[in-house]
Homo-oligomer: A and B are copies of this chain.
């Protein structure tokens, strides 16, 4: 690593493999030294759910898409306020995802889908692009905000991931209150769970109004990038099923030298292609966040028939929200403007 310079100094280098690598020398220390220079405008982008329509039966109620978009915009605004006041990218993405977890309209925290036993089991991951530090929880129950527990794994242990009862024990040790399992369950989640247990359950119908993983990426005034994701997983999943979310490189990745990615989609497909790290490999080869996202989403569709979506940002603040599914509610805040959309090609702009 180059010496800490207290300023942002990016350049394209050749790695020993010949790969193009964006060297970004900005470190948190520049802020501590008082040499706070915002070369990149702070940015946060959040996403909620890919919404896939299987077999052409893809009508999704307009009001549901609208409420999802409102929630994502709210989370993005809160994260942006943190960045504007000098907060870190990690703080911003954790706050954005916490807000989405607390919103019962989303499949994360309260509102999560139920597993085959009718319980909520959740996964979450946070990653700091400055140090590559990461923290995750897998198949954890009775916690209101898995993303905050994941952050404690990152900050307070020398591990990366804690699963199931081990994660719950750690939560207790950290003083995080255990919430009743029922407090995380919504009427909508129960209805979908019951519908899926019926002998004549229609898998196409089951995907209607599907609520997916929530996530966020950010770059702060120091040029540090971060990502966070949280999910209740897939509906009627087996007990103990772990999806892509807590799997580093699959369910998210952040590296100050390249950028940050938070994906959503079918977890098993995302894992098979290591989606997040793959997008960043394309960016290392010189592709823009948008080009890299499209290449990898296209590859996932062709290779393992997987649909999904991503929000991506590089350390210069160039961002993309791309998806191969029919819809993905997303929002991005930068330079006092809020961009958002749900359907392909949408990019509505309003003041933050």
Contacts and interface: CB of A to CB of B under 8 A. Distances in A.
A281 B248 CA distance: 16
A139 interface: yes
A37 interface: no
A135 B253 CA distance: 22
Contacts of A287: 17
Nearest to A240: B166
Interface size class of A (residues with CB under 8 A): 35 or more
Interface string A239-251: 1111100111110
A352 to B, nearest CB: 33
Nearest to A304: B132
The SS class assigned to the A binding surface is mixed
A56 interface: no
Given A134-B272, A248-B271, A165 B302 contact: no
Contacts of A185: none
A161 B165 CA distance: 16
A240 B132 contact: no
Copies of this chain in the oligomer = 2
Contacts of A5: none
Interface string A137-167: 0110000000000000000011111111111
A309 interface: no
A267 interface: yes
B16 A161 contact: no
Given A249-B250, A298-B16, A240 B133 contact: no
A248 B272 contact: yes
B268 A249 contact: no
Closest 6 CB pairs of A and B: A166-B240, A249-B274, A164-B164, A166-B239, A132-B272, A161-B242
